[in-house]
Structure 1
């Protein structure tokens, strides 16, 4: 899982001509706004000048990127085009003829690679759920069957199905699975040996979601783009494709979220990249970000459980003003010490009763992670507890420390404590942005298990503790 060597060289903010106080100001802003970050890496002039992980998240751990995966699929398309196997004008109906409905519309027959990359096929909204409902066994066919509300190429509509189809087109023309193709052409030459992929029920990679990478691998991807696709002495991605993919192809309708403008999602869309107020970024749900600012020779990688615009506002208002204004070595040391001590707040509480407690789970709460009526048993152990969810799986929970286990393949890290007669624990599905808060009332013999944020692939915790996650392509 871990890299054998660092992907990027290290330096200090001062040595790279950057103020460490601006990075500290960024951390202050995140704290003040209760923005939950899991990792942060700042790369300036090709060197990592700041890096930190909020425990229990850690450097060696891959993290689910959600739709930041789309930017990697874009690169796969660019490589297939460079190999002469695909072109921007190739039509879906020609590359995937076995997925074309017999009554395909004229517009459906005209949809090209360009339209998919720029998300300008013409559907009025994200087609994923409706296309899957229409054709449970063939998302491509369902996509082509749906009615269009705008002419192709004229309006951007964020649409997960377009990237799913691009992944299938790449696989068809290369005769390789998307993960295998990117491993061979991108990840292995870069030195990334820990790419993990969630998959749809058939076993294919989502394409629009599901890639897990370490923060450094995300930062290295951004640096590769900043260098025009060159890594060392190898041109891994054609410079022309980097420029094409990260350039604006279509306007975006200004988005609203919680009453505030999503400024960095209103500057246009490229080929599976968003244009920003400064540079461009690959974006995944809950704040997974790869931000590239060519004008400042800057790359920032973030994993988080938050709203992306809050992160981007903090980057522009706190971090960017410090670029080109070197601070002192003393400030660098203060920042480095702070970065080493980052942590998410553990659940407070004491060791509690030295006996087993049994409860039944109430799934009425919104975001319940387990079925109603599940028996939950808490057994005290040395320095913590063993929590057993009926016959489903067991989780080790630490007291004043994190305990790790892999009950069904994917690691879960947990800590908790007794608060009077109530046992509270946080179960981190640590390769994702999400965690489950378990609350057991020993007096009432009842329990709840609710997500901090609901995973887009559904609430069933069993899905998320299996590796790889296998599900329908029903991400919202």
Structure 2
């Protein structure tokens, strides 16, 4: 019989939340601490400065967790499409309560929003087709190009080329429609509906979710929670919907949602070609996952009784999973391993030292005193930036930007990440951590990390005799990574 750790026993006796508090050594749960160190190092080597956090659960206990500063345990992280798995859970709960059936027709919920001419394909679309990404729409409706405040009406007006259920096409607006249906039948937003049914029982605190112009949580993206919260969702599914002895979600829903509901490819080496469930991707090695852009993962491994939660800002999503399969999967053994205090200390040191790299360069430059305080004026540009000035005499460096909306100052530190705010209309959070250095005598570089999202922005300022060139590069971007260069003069 497997021995239970003392902390686990004490938590149970006190009636506390075992999955929130209980932790154990990796060896006790069948994983070598040294193997986890190798896993972290392989991630960093394969994807420098791309990882934001990792939490590993085995047999229900946290055996390793780490955050790359400035990311931190208490900080929420934008999930992008990993939000879809939470939306799926809400639909499952609503079906369990008898509020809807996934066999219900989509148009039955929105008689006021259907187009005048109804195609036979639109008439046939069901909630199950939304969940399986089988709407029959050959082209995904784009919320970014939405011309109307009524997103439901726009979705229903979009051409349905194929019979629903016959063609897989990834479709975030299909997940939005699940949220709209839930709000229609309950009168509550997704967040309000899930709060007493999922968030509060699991101890998920202060979740936030983007909304459409009519106040509907967007469903397919836009949820922000902590890394631990991601792992709790995975643990709930691993336990077939049971949490601390209470069946929150039916076992039947968990089985259906995480099974192969539709084929989406044939490449045996790709974790995007193994099939799709109800807003969960099938993986190799009989695993499944919730999955968001730039490397947001809730990876559930039933055969290993493990859950891996990952947040990142990566452009190589398969690469992250490949490292899991190569290093972590074979490290999970049956039964406990011999105690390894030295290996455990190596792991603790590794976890405590995780951090995004600082900008490489010097703290000052011979040009700094000449430039400091001068105002550079820009030609008219699409970013509405009028001028910029630098105060290199201060520490951290003050960078003041004037736009059509007013002035904003960024503080860039050399030996640490200076926290502040910088609005970004495409992101849900304006909180940033900023580091800067002189890359060479005439080039100053700062890195803005939006540490509640996967995104970061590198700004390079090249100073000429009486002018300035400003280059911008976005990391973890849906569009072009590089913005058009701006030119300014004194």
1:418 partner SS:
strand
1:447 paired residue among 464, 470, 480: 470
**CA distance in 1: counterparts of 2:401 and 2:107, whole angstroms:** 48
- 1:61 corresponds, among 75, 85, 88, to 75
Q: Aligned to 1:189, what secondary structure does the other structure show? A: helix
Q: What is the rounded CA distance, in whole Å, between the counterparts of 2:250 and 2:114 in structure 1?
A: 31
1:267 to 260, 268, 274: 274
CA distance in 1, matches of 2:216, 2:478: 20
In 1, the alpha carbon distance for the partners of 2:207 and 2:33 equals 31
Displacement of 1:396 after TM fit? Answer: 1.8
| Pairing partner for 1:431 from 425, 440, 452 | 452
Q: How does 1:456-471 map to 2 (within 5 A)?
A: none
**Stretch deviating more after TM superposition (423-432 or 392-401):** 392-401
Assess if the C-alpha contact under 8 Å between 2:84 and 2:175 holds in 1.
yes
Q: Deviations over 1:319-373 (max 9, x none)?
A: 0101016362321221121111011110122134253243356899xxxxx7165
Partner of residue 367, structure 1: none
Q: After alignment, is 4-13 or 16-25 more displaced?
A: 4-13
Shift of 1:230: 1.5
Q: Is 1:309 aligned with 2:340?
A: no
Q: Secondary structure at the match of 2:392?
A: strand
- On the 8 A contact 2:37/2:346 being kept in 1, the answer is no
Q: TM-score, normalised by structure 1?
A: 0.87
1:228 aligned onto 2:248: no
* Aligned residue in 1 for 2:328: 319
Give, in whole Å, the separation in 2 of the partners of 1:230 and 1:382: 55
Aligned equivalent of 2:344, options 332, 353, 357: 332
Partner residue of 1:288?
296
Aligned position for 1:118: 132
Task: Identify the residue that residue 411 of structure 1 maps to in structure 2.
Answer: 431
CA 362–440 in structure 1, closer or farther in 2 if over 3 Å, else same: farther
What's the CA shift string for 1:138-185, capped at 9, x where partnerless? 332332333333321122111111101000000111110111111221
- CA contact 2:77–2:451 (8 Å) conserved in 1: yes
- 1:21 corresponds to which residue? 34
Give the drift of 1:285: 0.4
Q: Which moved more, 1:325-334 or 1:273-282?
A: 325-334
Residue number among 268, 277, 288 corresponding to 2:284 in the alignment:
277
Residues 253 and 83 (structure 1 numbering): CA distance in 2 closer, same or farther, change over 3 Å? same
Preserved contact between residue 95 and residue 172 of structure 1 (Cα < 8 Å): yes
Larger-Rg structure: 2
Does the CA contact (< 8 Å) of 1:273 and 1:282 recur in 2?
yes
**Pairing partner for 1:37 from 51, 65, 83:** 51
* Residues 263-301 of structure 1: CA deviation (Å, up to 9, x unaligned): 111111000000001310000000100000011001000
**Paired positions, count:** 445
Structure 2 CA distance for aligned equivalents of residues 94 and 208 of structure 1 = 21
Instruction: Give the direction of change, closer, same or farther, for the CA distance of 1:53–1:404 in structure 2 (3 Å limit).
Output: same
| Aligned ranges 1:155-170 → 2 under 5 Å | 155-170=167-182
Structure 1 portions without partners, runs of 5+: 256-260, 365-369, 461-476
In the aligned structure 2, how far is the partner of 1:100 from the partner of 1:92?
10
Aligned to 2:3: none
Q: 1:31 to 1:360 in 2, by over 3 A?
A: farther
| Structure 2: distance between partners of 1:439 and 1:50 | 36
Larger relative contact order (CA 8 Å, sep ≥ 6): 1
Matched, 1:102 2:116: yes
Residue 377 of structure 1 corresponds to: 389
Q: Show CA shifts across 1:70-96 (max 9, x none).
A: 000000111111111100111111112
1:356 counterpart residue number:
373
The 5 Å alignment of 1:382-401 reads 382-390=394-402, 391-401=406-416
Residues 112 and 40 of structure 1: is their aligned pair in 2 closer, same or farther, counting only changes over 3 Å? same
Gaps of 5+ in 2: 1-16, 424-428, 484-490
Q: In the TM superposition, what is the alpha-carbon distance from 1:114 to its structure 2 partner?
A: 0.7
Q: Which region of structure 1 is more displaced relative to structure 2, 160-169 or 386-395?
A: 386-395
Residue of structure 2 in register with 1:71 after alignment: 85
Contact 2:459 2:471 survives alignment (8 Å): yes
Q: Distance in 2 between matches of 1:74 and 1:116?
A: 10
1:97 & 1:457 partners in 2: Cα distance?
A: 40
Which range is displaced more, 407-416 or 210-219? 407-416
Check conservation: 2:150, 2:214, Cα contact below 8 A. no
Matches within 5 A, 1:174-185: 174-185=186-197
RMSD over aligned Cα atoms: 2.5
